[in-house]
Structures are given as C-alpha cells and as structure tokens.
Amino acid sequence: MHPSSGDDADVIVVGAGPAGSTAAAHLAGAGVTTLVLDKAVFPRAKACGDGLTPRAVKELIYLGLPLGQADGWTRNRGLRVFGGGHRLELPWPALASFPDFGLTMPREEFDLRLVRHARRAGAEVVENANVTAPLLDRANGRVVGVVAATAAGERRFRAPVVVAADGVAARLATAIGRQKKANRPVGVAVRARFRLPRPPRGDQLEWMESHLELWDGPAQTGKLMPGYGWVFPEAPAPAAGPAPADQSAADQSPARAAVVNVGVGSVASSAQAAGAAKVNYRELLTRWAAGLSPAWGFGLEDMIDRPRSAALPMAFNRQPLYARGLVLVGDAGGMVSPFDGEGIAYAMQSGRLAAGAIAQALARPKGDGREAALRTYPELMKESLGGYFSLGRVFVKLIEHPQVMRVCTRYGLPRPTLMKLVMKLLSDLYEPRGGDWMDRTIATLARMAPAA
C-alpha cells in the first residue's frame, strides 16, 4: 500500500514495546506502510519478569522468530510452585493450541529483537521520538496523526489509522477522553536481577518458580503479605545487541554468568483497594530476595541492577479499544491478565489481531466498510478474552486477602489434579474447543461470564 497524499504512512504505531512492534511487523508483512515512533533508544531497560508463557511463545512463532538456546533463549518446562509448606512441579500442559514450553530472556534484549524484526519486515522505526499529542480532524474529532518531539525538533506525522501502544500511561487515549474504568483490577510488580555466584543445577533452569505466599521475612514466621513472588532463571547466552550502559563488560560477553529475575507482585480489585494496601514493594522485594539464598546461593551483593517497578493495567481497563481512528493495544488497553499478571502474551496477541483488522480496513475505500473492518478488532479481543478477564476479576476479589490465598495453597497444592486445573485456568492455557474435561470446564465458564 502507499500512503494517501499528505499522509506519512498508512499506519502510525506509537510505542515499540511488544504490542507495538508485533503490530508493526504484521502490518509491514501485509504490505501496509508503517511508521513506528518510540521515545526510547533501544535497547532500554524495562520492569518485567522476563518470563514468557506458552501463550506468548505462540505469538513469537506467528512472527517467525528463532527460538533456540543458541538464539539466547532459556527454555523451561513449567512452573515450580511453592505455598502452604508444599512444593509442586506443574509442567506446561500438552495442548493442540499452544506449545508446551516457556521461555525467558532479559526484557531489553527481547524488545530489541522485536524492534529489529519489525524493521526487517519493512516498518520504519524512529527512536527518540516522544509523542506528545494526537492530531485531530476538526470536523469529526477523528485521530489523523500525532505530534512528536524528535531530535530534529517538533514534527507532525499523519496517517488514517493510529495505533496506541504507548503503555500504561496511555497518553493518546487519555488525550481524547478514554478514561480508565475504576472497577478493574490493578496490579503492581517489582523486579531485580541477581548474578548467580555458582552454576545453577540443571533442574533449576528447567522451571519458573512461583511463590504463592509472600512473606515479609522468614517463611511461616514473618508477616504474610498480599502478593506473590517469582524466580525466573536465565541461562548464559549471547545478547541480541549492545547491552545497556549500566552493565559491565563481563555482562555483555557470551560467557556472562547465569542470572535470575526475582520479583514480587500484588493485585487489588480496584485502584482504591490498591491504594489502601500501602506496601513499599521495593523494600519488600529486597527482604524477600534475601530469604532465597539457601536455594539459589545469591545474596543482595549479587544484585546487578536496581529494582524496577511497573503498574499492571488489567482486564480491558480502558475502552473502547477502537474508535475514531485510534486503536489501543497492549497496556494502553489494559491487556494484563488478572489471574497471573501476564501481559506480554496479550500485548502481542492484541498487536497481531489489530494488524489484521487494520490491513483489511485499509484495503477498502474510506467509509463505512473501512470502519466496519476496524471495529472487528475490539470484537475479536472481547470474544477471545472478555469472559476470561471477567472471571479474573472475580478471582482477584477472592485472593486479594493473603489469608484466603494461604488457605487455598495449604489445602490445594497437595492435590495434583486440582492444581493442574488451576494452572490451566491461571495461565490461560486450555483448549477453547474440545480438549479434556478441564479444558471444557474452563471454556464453559469463560463463555458464560459477561465480556464487559
């Protein structure tokens, strides 16, 4: 496709994180002239657990990215879950719809690979371009471009469709009046990386650890906090490109030591409930990480970057996902699961589905037919995730009290069949049609729940 006279591209994508880069790669691959603007210069650090579930791996396969260990990935078999004095290993389920393995990679390397992939597909990516406002058609209020501060000064870029992949702040959506829904869950996550002073055991690299009870101090004797913890291992591997400036030369070499991504997170049923918790999660992370030394061998002196935190906008907390020329993808549309805080998989899924709807729309003349094609995007997102996210909202109301989680883990973890069902539910890994009785149970519940 070629931009109309006066337009800089067929589509402008604001933000080059997983949602934006995925959308751009799929759009460019479909022949759509795509311009990506991001305020950062890649690679850049990002608060993230660095772990990808099979649902996210499926999106990487759609993109055609190489996923081998030689490509820098650490593959894992599933979750090693701790809670209630129990430990249980839960392999990722073997399904027709999803691969049976997860992956880890430092987020700065992961995002850099996605940006490079979008460029290879044909998208133009402009870094150090901070989008400050939308351009509106005065006649109908439609978004027809953006204003951006670039190294060359303020620029105006125009396109018939703009994709907002600008993260949790969602400045473009906010600028045109799309406010957050106050009744949606809110999450907070904080993470840090630690160098392992001794080689990890083989089985430690095979599992992503999930700690369902978060103790502020020694387990069972400290204070039980409203949240969960994780340890995601990353084996030594070559980086995809230049490492961040705050890493040492040793960290940048292929022989760098294995590291673990250690984090804590919490979820509340609303922003009001989250504010009432009043927890300093960075301090909690430091204290909790210190208690992991017997199993992993690292100490606080092995921390290789400062703790980073991020808000987790959940359950389509900003809508509509499309209207008046502006498409919301990823965190800008609140596409984080209330069940487990997973955001990357849904960000990439939203980018892929948005790209498909946009490509179909731009193949049509301006008018009702184009708008009808663009409106299929929010319909597809609600059809695939709306009911599931609504179930997640109910789940959050139940487990935002740590005492409830403690009872669930104490009596649930010793029951492997129950935990297999719970894992499928929490990780959104079930067959939407067919499958075993667990898949059919979850699929029925998701269909029955209102897709609000």
Nearest to 92 by CA among 342, 344, 427, 346: 427
Radius of gyration of the chain from its Cα atoms, rounded to whole angstroms: 22
The tokens for 378 are 């929010």
Tens-level pLDDT at each residue, the chain (452 residues) = 667 767 899 999 999 999 999 999 999 999 999 999 999 999 998 888 899 999 999 999 999 999 988 888 999 999 999 888 888 999 999 999 999 999 999 999 999 999 999 999 999 999 999 999 999 999 999 999 999 999 889 999 999 999 999 999 999 999 999 989 888 988 899 999 999 888 777 688 899 999 888 776 655 556 777 778 999 988 765 444 444 443 333 333 344 468 899 999 888 776 665 554 567 888 888 888 888 878 888 888 999 888 999 989 999 999 999 999 999 999 999 999 999 889 999 999 999 999 999 999 999 999 999 999 999 999 999 999 999 999 999 988 887 777 777 787 777 778 889 889 999 999 999 999 889 999 999 999 999 999 88
CA torsion sign, 165 to 170 to 174 to 177?
positive
CA dist 93 and 12 (Å) reads 38
HEC string of the chain? Answer: CCCCCCCCCCEEEECCCHHHHHHHHHHHHCCCCEEEECCCCCCCCCCCCCEECHHHHHHHHHHCCCCCHHHCCEEECEEEEEECCEEEEEECCCCCCCCCCEEECCHHHHHHHHHHHHHHHCCEEECCCEEEEEEECCCCCCEEEEEEEECCEEEEEECCEEEECCCCCCHHHHHCCCCECCCCCEEEEEEEEEECCCCCCHHHHCEEEEECCEEECCCCCCEEECCEEEEEEECCCCCCCCCCCCCCHHHHCCCCCCEEEEEEEEEECCHHHHHHHCCCHHHHHHHHHHCCHHHHCCCHHHECCCCEEEEEEECCCECCCEECCEEECHHHHCCECCCCCCCHHHHHHHHHHHHHHHHHHHCCCCCHHHHHHHHHHHHHHHHHHHHHHHHHHHHHHHHCCHHHHHHHHHHHCCCHHHHHHHHHHHHCCCCCCCCCHHHHHHHHHHHHCCCC
Token code pair at residue 125? 């990516």
In a domain, residue 361? The reply is yes
CA distances in angstroms from 374 to 121, 139, 161, 280, 335, listed in the order given: 22, 20, 9, 42, 18
Q: Rounded distance, CA 333 to CA 329, Å?
A: 5
Does residue 251 form part of some domain? no
State both tokens at 286: 């430091």
Q: Is residue 342 part of a domain?
A: yes
Could you give the CA distance from residue 335 to residue 55 in angstroms, rounded to a whole number? 14
Domain enclosing residue 111, as ranges:
11-78+104-181+315-397
In a domain, 2, yes or no: no
How much is the pLDDT for 236? Answer: 65
Residue 353 phi, psi dihedral angles, 5° rounding: -70, -40
pLDDT confidence of residue 295? 83
The pLDDT value given to residue 247: 38
> 337 in a domain, yes or no?
yes
Is residue 250 one of the residues assigned to a domain? Answer: no
| Angstrom distance (rounded) from CA 322 to CA 410 | 43
| Six-digit token string for 149 | 């501060």
Q: What angle do CA 54, 360, 390 make, to 5 degrees?
A: 45
8 Å CB contact between 253 and 242: no
Residue 18 belongs to a domain: yes
Q: What is the pLDDT of residue 248?
A: 34
Check which CATH number belongs to the domain holding 41 and give it. Answer: 3.50.50.60
- Cα→Cα distances 325→161, 331, 372, Å: 5, 18, 12
Domain count, the chain: 1
In angstroms, the Cα distances linking 170 to 120, 147, 262, 313 are: 27, 15, 27, 10
In a domain, 248, yes or no: no
The residue assigned the tokens 């869950």 is 185
What is the per-residue pLDDT for 402? 72
Within 8 A by CB and 6+ apart from 276, the residues are 268
The pTM assigned to this predicted structure is 0.91
